[in-house]
Amino acid sequence: MSDHDMLAGKVVVVTGAGRGVGRGIAIMCAEYGAKVVVNDLGGTEQGEGADQVPALEVVKTITDAGGEAIANFGNVAKSDDAGEMIETARREFGRIDCVVNNAGILRDVIFHKMSEEEFDAVISVHLKGSFNVARAAAPYLREQQSGSMVHMTSTSGLIGNFGQANYAAAKLGIAGLSRSIALDMSRFNVRSNCISPFAWSRLIGTIPQGTDAERERVAKIQQMTPEKIAPLAVYLLSDQAADITGNIFVVRNNEICLMSQPRPIRNLQTSDGWTPESVASRFGPAVKSSLVPLERSGDVFSWDPV
């Protein structure tokens, strides 16, 4: 293992850690001294089936390099499974310090054709799953008066994308969840932040590649390997980021961005009170130049990744 010790003595649970971004984070956490619970249900991109091999392979990678890790095959969408992840950490390694909520699935479909099941499945894994694991860890973090959580959000929710209403709702919900955890747990020295990763993964591999523009976009994304996300995650989990909580970051290849969060940008008041007519004649024209256009993630992050 590396002689880095930024996470020495810490026990970290990483969900969805069998492949992609989660795998990269789990391995780097171990390299920097953490003991890692590698959680992965082993399902498909759509969340179907279960394969224990990916999680076991990550554990072997860590232990072969001299680190400490154990596999867990629970489903984050089930609160009992989430509780068992935290109990596994405490049973095997004696404590729990950090949670990385990374597990996810995709069920992309244009909104007017999206089924209730397609919506619920994505919300259950991403948003409810992040709540379940964070909630299971919270009493122990409160008791020891320390801890850090990192949750994966997405510019699909923060900005927007086509055909991802379920995913976007879950990912923007995670940003709100993380902010609330940060506020509620700050008195116990427990921190919570979000990372929005740009990285090639199995989920991104479902992007259509029917046109030259789409193929060119995917080729650029393929340069952004999942391992590029891990350094920021390790930093945010560590005590060196002790004063950072409630924030949202984007990692895009070799770029790290601190994202803005909603704040008032225009304000009009009237001593007479508003009517629909005065809203139309005064407020509408006044804010027109400040309205957020209907952009997608690729429109805002329009430059090639560095």
b/e sequence 157-182, b meaning 16+ C-beta within 10 Å: bbbbbebbbbbbbbbbbbbebbbebb
140 assigned to active site: no
8 A C-beta contact, residue 238 and residue 184: no
Q: On the CB side of 90, how many CA atoms lie within 13 Å of its CA?
A: 13
Annotated catalytic residue within 32, 140, 167, 235: 167
Which amino acid is located at 187 in the chain? R
Cα–Cα–Cα angle for 254, 56, 118, nearest 5°? 70
Q: Is 46 exposed, middle or buried (0-12, 13-18, 19+ CB in 10 A)?
A: middle
* Region class of 125: left (phi > 0), else alpha (psi between -120 and 50), else beta: alpha
Indicate which residues carry an active-site annotation. 167
